[in-house]
Amino acid sequence: MTQKKPSLAIGMIGHAFMGAAHSQAWRTAPHFFDLPLDPAMRVVCGRDPARTAAAAERLGWAESATSWREVIGRDDVDLVDICTPGDTHAEIAIAALEAGKHVLCEKPLANTVAEAEEMASAADRAAVHGVRAMVGFTYRRVPAIVLARRLVADGRLGEIRHVRAHYLQDWLADPDAPLSWRLDKDQAGSGALGDIGAHVVDLTQFVLGEQIREVSGQLETFVKERPVASGAAGLTGGTTGSERGAVTVDDAAVFLARFAGGALGVFEATRFATGRKNAIRIEINGAKGSLSFDFEDMNVLHFHDASADDLEAGFRRIVVTEPGHPYIAAWWPPGHGLGYEHGFTHQVVDLIGALGAGEEPTPTFADGLRVQRVLAAVETSSDTRSWQEIPA
């Protein structure tokens, strides 16, 4: 440690919920993991100067700025971390890549397939020059999910027959919950589908190592109008008055899917599952075994090995906190579980690791585009009441 590591200077665009999570990751990763580059939290960018300056202090950034273009133009910024709403991703990311900055972009990659395609192209062009782009599907970094992927890849489940995946929240179940940018199609692109459905699409494709080939789905907006929030907006907005505005995104999305290998998928993403707060549930059945995961108990993976003696077979509750489990050696002793934010730290660790090794970090923008195509196919399917194929 006597030799100084090369630095990696970060400029972060946006400082709300995701900005806070990313900041905690940048701050924390170097203290637990041996990284090839030393991240420096150079500058955070937001619209409001005073609020951005306060965020810089609170979140640990050296400076604040109000122009993202200025940030990506700075020589002392190596990587741009995009934590803004989806409608701004394409413009910022493409510009940053063209400016020779590595990019970490929050999911969903973009609000439309067209934008995502442009972003993937930009990423390809940038890669030629060793400039890297990654999309932020952090739940891939939950140790139990990585273990799940390994078990599937090792053939422990055999041929996969069923995937059932839910992402259940309930923060809109109350019809008087206020409007926020997340309920505005212009900013958010879609509702539950893109915000949380994107995660289970990515997670299941990641765990299976296979793409979804076709879908048949249905979107629904249960509550068409909501009170307009006045003042600052957090996840659930500020105070509300008598004014009501239209909800222009879906409250819930359900769809059937067929994976490339033939497995049947059943997906559900909703903000109306009363009593479920952040339940990402994935269950996979194969010819030789099964897996079950629920983010409400995120340090656990349930694994059924059908090759075991019938009389002793059963779903094993694997507490994924052993030193040999993914990412765990850097943290705490067995049974001392991780939390939500650790996925973001692992994301930063993997990203810096790839940059240090000169490798392409994953998920790539091309991976993000694939997710976007699935989401778009679900929307079209809902509109046309038909099955839709996803281009490979």
- For residues 328-367, which are near a copy of itself according to CB under 8 A? 332-342
Question: Is residue 287 involved in binding a copy of itself (CB under 8 A)?
Answer: yes
Contacting a copy of itself (CB under 8 A), which of 11, 178, 217, 368? 217
Question: Is residue 255 involved in binding a copy of itself (CB under 8 A)?
Answer: yes
Q: Which stretch binds a copy of itself (CB under 8 A): 66-74, 177-185, 265-273, 355-363?
A: 265-273
CB of 131 to a copy of itself, least distance (A): 30
Q: Which stretch binds a copy of itself (CB under 8 A): 6-14, 108-116, 217-225, 366-374?
A: 217-225
Look at residues 87, 63, 88 and name the one whose alpha carbon lies nearest to residue 12. Answer: 63
Contact 11, 46 (CB under 8 A): no
Of the pair 322, 360, the CB lying nearest a copy of itself is at 322
Question: Contacts from 304-311 at CB under 8 Å and sequence distance 24+?
Answer: 305/156, 306/158
CB of 17 to a copy of itself, least distance (A): 7
Distance CA 321, CA 317 (A): 12
| DSSP type of residue 189 | S
Angle (CA) 202 388 376, round 5°: 50
Question: Is residue 46 involved in binding a copy of itself (CB under 8 A)?
Answer: no
CB of 381 to a copy of itself, least distance (A): 9
Contacting a copy of itself (CB under 8 A), which of 28, 88, 221, 240? 28
Look at residues 349, 347, 323, 359 and name the one whose alpha carbon lies nearest to residue 35. Answer: 349
Q: Which stretch binds a copy of itself (CB under 8 A): 63-71, 124-132, 165-173, 368-376?
A: 165-173
Question: Is residue 63 involved in binding a copy of itself (CB under 8 A)?
Answer: no
Burial of residue 71 (number of CB atoms within 10 Å: 0-12, 13-18, 19+): buried
Of the pair 95, 181, the CB lying nearest a copy of itself is at 181
Contacting a copy of itself (CB under 8 A), which of 111, 112, 180, 270? 270
Distance CA 271, CA 137 (A): 19
Neighbours of 136 (CB within 10 A): 27
As a dihedral over the C-alpha atoms of residue 304, residue 309, residue 311, residue 317, rounded to 10 degrees, the angle is -30
CB of 228 to a copy of itself, least distance (A): 21
Q: Which residues contact 33 (CB under 8 A, 6 or more apart)?
A: 330, 345, 349
Q: Which stretch binds a copy of itself (CB under 8 A): 74-82, 101-109, 114-122, 301-309?
A: 301-309
The dihedral through the CA atoms of 339, 15, 225, 231 has a sign that is positive
Of the pair 110, 198, the CB lying nearest a copy of itself is at 198
The two structure tokens encoding residue 62? 């050296």
Contact 291, 300 (CB under 8 A): no
Which helix (H) or strand (E) element contains residue 56? helix 49-59
Question: Is residue 275 involved in binding a copy of itself (CB under 8 A)?
Answer: yes
Of the pair 97, 298, the CB lying nearest a copy of itself is at 298
CB of 278 to a copy of itself, least distance (A): 3
Residues between 308 and 327 that touch a copy of itself (CB under 8 A):
310-319, 321-322, 324-325
CB of 273 to a copy of itself, least distance (A): 5
Neighbours of 218 (CB within 10 A): 14
Look at residues 316, 45, 9, 380 and name the one whose alpha carbon lies nearest to residue 156. Answer: 316
CB of 339 to a copy of itself, least distance (A): 3
Question: Is residue 277 involved in binding a copy of itself (CB under 8 A)?
Answer: yes
Q: Which stretch binds a copy of itself (CB under 8 A): 26-34, 63-71, 179-187, 360-368?
A: 26-34
CB of 341 to a copy of itself, least distance (A): 7
Residues between 116 and 145 that touch a copy of itself (CB under 8 A):
none
Contact 85, 17 (CB under 8 A): no
Residues between 71 and 110 that touch a copy of itself (CB under 8 A):
none
Is beta strand 252-259 parallel, antiparallel or unpaired with respect to 315-319? unpaired
